[in-house]
Structure 1
């Protein structure tokens, strides 16, 4: 019995903590073009409306006319509407504003379903990729290019897979690929996963030809410089953007 009570208290605590986090996120969230909101005034059906915000940053609301909504939180909008309705229209209006659907974020590049998707609180790169159908086989898994939409303007940065994403942000998932040419059976570009070795790279390319030299292999990194190989050539780690050339053996 004591164990059940303890579990119940823990579950309730987690629920309250999650609710507090969601409430805090909604307080920080700023409305903008693309958001869909629902305005409900208790007992005043003619004042209830659902509207998708457009680029003008204003809505036309009964009695009040044009109301500016760009850049305010739902709580600030509630206060703005309440004050306006109290000013000669309704004695004690009970106004509630909620977000029906957040404006989208965008993801492109090496994901299976690139496009725009509705933002949700707590969104990260990892979750965004999942919404977009997951990575393609050529996708990088380590660094992602994001253009952040902020009130002060846009900024761009490379981030990791657990970086937070906001509404209006644009994510680009780049390629992780290496190239191999020369004395291999299938010279081409192939996906470069973390930890890939020379032996595995050659295997992806169909193996060495009969004329190949296992010791005469060059690697040119993506910045154009030649990269040293290990004494055990086949254990050399391959990096994204590397170009491998397998030379002939003359003996």
Structure 2
């Protein structure tokens, strides 16, 4: 039985080692910025270990090297820059520098609204990236049936306020795909609730339902389970608000497209 215990210990140690290596690899692509808290290690030189926070100018003060600019560099490039400084200054012959990001404060975006995991996400870290689709994937994607197709991104570009609406399914369209927006530090991503329509009267399942893209009256009725035995197509009316907020009562065709907020009423047949 001893060999089984030894095997279990070896597997557990291997698993923890793999997790540690993957975590370090995941941070290598992260771009350092102001506010990030980092820990610097130099192999076999514990006196050069340092905990530092990158200041607003993107710099830190490091032993032997003085002020070093790390902001705007990936973790991997920052490690190489420190190693080169120690080597070129004749402080160490073959320095091996590692940087661990203890607290990410820079290069973050906020994802809010109808996504599975709303929160703040780092750009360019691990399996993530800088594009809208990549960050939404980290947030678990848009809630099925609960979120709208239009994703709103706000932030700043060149010091000016920035706002863009993206028809997200078009990013993956076979023809004329939309731009997969490249995000920037501080961007906010908002996914609103899907627009709703309301059905009542002689239908099987009256009540609110999500308005799907290009949904027709016939499709809306089908989603509501169809007409009851007492319902009649000739008695269908749609109540719709115009631009001035005035409710209009329409007699629609079954192939007419529905609009957000439409109220569909199916009358009872008099025969």
- Bucket of the pairwise TM-score, normalised by the shorter protein: 0.5 to 0.7
* CA 130–227 in structure 1, closer or farther in 2 if over 3 Å, else same: farther
* CA 111–222 in structure 1, closer or farther in 2 if over 3 Å, else same: farther
Q: CA deviation at 1:192?
A: 2.0
Q: Does 1:108 align with 2:115?
A: no
Task: Report 1:158-173 matches (<5 A).
Answer: 158-161=165-168, 162-173=180-191
SS in 1 for 2:222: helix
Return the alpha-carbon distance in structure 2 between the equivalents of residues 94 and 151 of structure 1. 38
Give unpaired runs (5+ residues) of structure 2. 1-28, 169-179
- Name the structure 2 match of 1:138: 146
Contact 2:40 2:100 in 1 (8 A): no
* CA 227–116 in structure 1, closer or farther in 2 if over 3 Å, else same: farther
Q: Does 1:157 align with 2:137?
A: no
Q: Does 1:128 align with 2:135?
A: yes
- Name the structure 1 match of 2:197: 179
Q: TM-score, with normalisation over the residues of structure 1?
A: 0.61
> Which stretch of the first structure deviates more once superposed, 49-58 or 177-186?
49-58
Task: Report 1:46-61 matches (<5 A).
Answer: 46-49=47-50, 51=52, 53=54, 59-61=60-62
Q: TM-score, with normalisation over the residues of structure 2?
A: 0.58
Contact 1:144 1:172 in 2 (8 A): yes
Return the alpha-carbon distance in structure 2 between the equivalents of residues 160 and 124 of structure 1. 14
* CA 31–187 in structure 1, closer or farther in 2 if over 3 Å, else same: same
Contact 1:35 1:99 in 2 (8 A): no
After superposition, the C-alpha distances for 1:8-57 in whole angstroms (9 at most, x for unaligned) are xxxxxxxxxxxxxxxxxx7xx96434545565668755334465547796
Contact 1:69 1:77 in 2 (8 A): no
SS in 2 for 1:129: helix
SS in 2 for 1:135: coil
Q: CA deviation at 1:191?
A: 1.8
* Number of residues of Structure 1 aligned to a counterpart in Structure 2: 219
> What is the root-mean-square deviation in Å for CA atoms of aligned residues?
4.4
Contact 1:147 1:155 in 2 (8 A): yes
- Name the structure 2 match of 1:22: none
- Name the structure 1 match of 2:220: 201
Return the alpha-carbon distance in structure 1 between the equivalents of residues 53 and 249 of structure 2. 54
Residue from 237, 244, 250 that aligns with 2:257 = 237
Contact 1:140 1:173 in 2 (8 A): yes
Q: CA deviation at 1:144?
A: 0.8
* CA 204–160 in structure 1, closer or farther in 2 if over 3 Å, else same: closer
Q: CA deviation at 1:172?
A: 0.6
Q: CA deviation at 1:248?
A: 2.6
